[in-house]
């Protein structure tokens, strides 16, 4: 029976600390996510005549407090609740990513959290100030506070990831080792996994298409724009959150199943292939919806699909490095897959 070393999970025995793909690095992901936040917050980019005087006046003026209205969205959620909830949730990942990106720059944990909070609060203030220049947007103090709250929560959560990741990474290792053992011992297991994965992928895609169709019928115009995320800007916050969240979850599951089915030795060796396949699936879904005549082609879905797969690979890569760190002392001790012994005992 072939022996598997714990540090070989997802990537062989080679240390990947210096070979991390650029798009997996926390500072790159934080930068991309920040650009998406700015893009979505300033959409549709009607800022009037941009000159230095207007920008300085907007940046120097505190956004006004906008009282929450008693209106309800088409899904029955109060306007103030969806407004605050989405603003908080939208900035939590950004706070986590900035906190992780600061690990290599600042050694003290309190300094990492402080910088992450400062960056998040500053970005939110700049965005809300620039929104005052737009005729389609309203820069408000409550949006700034809710965005800042989300960033602070994310930065605080990021401080506990080092303690949490070791436990989760070891459980992931045990699950993956058992799966690989079952595939090696029982070849029919792989065929059943392929069939079950295919059925699950098709079911998720069908449910997602039905959900999009239902929400577009009940939440507004069904025609989508070619500009990314513009259709979501036209919808209430809760509707947009459901649409984006559904797309992200579906394509993350699709990417994870493809990772399990096609990876052999290294995750990175199939990263490009999986990204291309998932993007192709999202593109094909948009073409099918366009052929039906109810929707125009929208580039948002392929963007969300690629982003979801990148997040999945980032989490797997992060887990791989965590396992290497936690098992470094046992690096030369093989784990024997012998069912008569205690499973996955280090020795």
Calpha distance 164→172 (Å, rounded):
12
Continuous H helices in the chain: 26-42, 52-60, 79-101, 109-131, 141-158, 161-185, 187-219, 230-233, 237-262, 271-291, 300-326
- pLDDT of res. 226: 57
- pLDDT of res. 236: 73
With beta carbons less than 8 A apart as the criterion, state whether 150 and 137 touch.
Answer: no
Residues of the chain with confidence (pLDDT) below 50 = 1-18, 221-224, 264-265, 267, 329-347
* End-to-end C-alpha distance for the chain, whole angstroms: 17
- pLDDT of res. 125: 85
Q: Is 72 helix (H, G, I), strand (E, B) or coil?
A: strand
Calpha distance 103→110 (Å, rounded):
11
Kindly tell me the burial class for residue 302, based on how many C-beta atoms sit within 10 Å of its own C-beta (0-12, 13-18, 19 or more). Answer: buried
Calpha distance 215→75 (Å, rounded):
9
- pLDDT of res. 189: 64
User: 140 forms bridges with which residues in the sheet?
Assistant: 64
With beta carbons less than 8 A apart as the criterion, state whether 332 and 3 touch.
Answer: no
Report residue 103 as tokens. Answer: 């690990």
- pLDDT of res. 332: 42
Distances (CA, A) of 207 to 2, 119, 149: 41, 38, 33
pTM tops 0.85:
no
Cα-based angle 195, 316, 245 (whole degrees, multiple of 5)? 75
Q: How many CA atoms lie within 13 A of 69 on its CB side?
A: 6
Report residue 234 as tokens. Answer: 């036209």
User: What are the residue boundaries of the structural domains of the chain, listed by start?
Assistant: 1-14+163-347, 44-159
- pLDDT of res. 222: 46
- pLDDT of res. 322: 66
Report residue 8 as tokens. Answer: 């070989």
With beta carbons less than 8 A apart as the criterion, state whether 100 and 28 touch.
Answer: no
Kindly tell me the burial class for residue 324, based on how many C-beta atoms sit within 10 Å of its own C-beta (0-12, 13-18, 19 or more). Answer: buried
Q: For residue 325, what are the contacts with CB-CB under 8 A and spacing of at least 6?
A: 166
With beta carbons less than 8 A apart as the criterion, state whether 21 and 321 touch.
Answer: no
């Amino acid at each position: 029976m072939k022996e598997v070393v714990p540090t070989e999970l997802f990537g062989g025995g080679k240390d990947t600390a210096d070979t991390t793909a650029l798009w997996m690095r926390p500072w790159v992901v934080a930068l991309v996510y920040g650009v998406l936040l700015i893009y979505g917050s300033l959409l549709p980019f009607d800022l009037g005549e941009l000159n230095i005087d207007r920008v300085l006046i907007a940046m120097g003026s505190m956004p006004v407090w906008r009282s929450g209205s008693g209106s309800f969205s088409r899904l029955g959620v109060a306007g103030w609740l969806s407004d605050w909830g989405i603003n908080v949730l939208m900035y939590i990942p950004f706070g986590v990513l900035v906190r992780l990106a600061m690990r290599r720059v600042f050694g003290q944990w309190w300094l990492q959290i402080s910088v992450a909070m400062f960056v998040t609060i500053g970005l939110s203030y700049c965005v809300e100030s620039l929104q005052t220049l737009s005729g389609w947007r309203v820069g408000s103090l409550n949006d700034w506070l809710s965005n800042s709250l989300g960033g602070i929560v994310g930065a605080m959560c990021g401080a506990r990831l080092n303690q949490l990741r070791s436990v989760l990474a070891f459980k992931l290792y045990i699950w993956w080792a058992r799966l690989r053992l079952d595939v090696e011992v029982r070849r029919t297991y792989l065929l059943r996994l392929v069939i079950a994965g295919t059925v699950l992928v098709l079911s998720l895609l069908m449910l997602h298409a039905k959900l999009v169709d239902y929400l577009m019928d009940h939440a507004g115009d069904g025609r989508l724009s070619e500009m990314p995320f513009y259709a979501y800007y036209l919808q209430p916050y809760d509707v947009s959150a459901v649409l984006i969240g559904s797309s992200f979850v579906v394509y993350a599951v699709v990417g994870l199943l493809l990772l399990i089915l096609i990876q052999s030795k290294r995750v990175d060796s199939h990263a490009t292939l999986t990204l291309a396949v998932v993007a192709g699936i999202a593109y094909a879904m948009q073409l099918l919806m366009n052929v039906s005549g109810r929707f125009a082609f929208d580039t948002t879905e392929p963007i969300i699909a690629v982003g979801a797969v990148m997040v999945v690979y980032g989490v797997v890569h992060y887990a791989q490095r965590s396992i290497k760190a936690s098992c470094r002392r046992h690096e030369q001790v093989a784990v024997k897959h012998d069912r008569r012994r205690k499973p996955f005992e280090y020795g």
